[in-house]
Amino acid sequence: MAFCKIIELPETQVLIRKDFNEEEGNPSIIIHVEVQSMYFNTTLTYKNEKSREESYESFNKNHAESLYKHFKKIVNDNNSI
């Protein structure tokens, strides 16, 4: 069972890492995305280990690209202010 995986995109890498949410006491996944030298982390928390495993296994390049585009839009919007 893998602890983390990296999805390669043309402009960056997206790291998906299994973790445990200490505050809520539940399994979680932390997603790290780098956009123009800025780092974004998203934490997804699950009710049980099975849900986390299913989500972790199904996270794919399309999901990574969507997150990257979302964070890139935030960076570009902030740069235009």
As a dihedral over the C-alpha atoms of residue 69, residue 75, residue 79, residue 80, rounded to 10 degrees, the angle is 40
Tens-digit pLDDT profile for residues 30-41: 999 999 889 999
Helical H segments across the chain, by residue range = 49-58, 61-79
Write down the pLDDT at residue 81.
Answer: 67
Domain boundaries, the chain: 4-79
pLDDT band at 2 (very low <50, low <70, confident <90, very high): low
The more confidently predicted of residues 8 and 21 is: 8
Q: Using alpha carbons only, how large is the chain's radius of gyration in Å?
A: 14
Instruction: Please tell me whether residue 38 adopts helix, strand or coil conformation.
Output: strand
**Cβ atoms of residues 75 and 36 within 8 Å:** yes
**CB burial of residue 9 (10 Å; 0-12, 13-18, 19+):** middle
How far is residue 48's CA from residue 39's CA, in Å, rounded to a whole number?
28
Tens-digit pLDDT profile for residues 15-66: 999 998 777 789 999 999 999 889 999 999 999 999 999 999 999 999 999 9
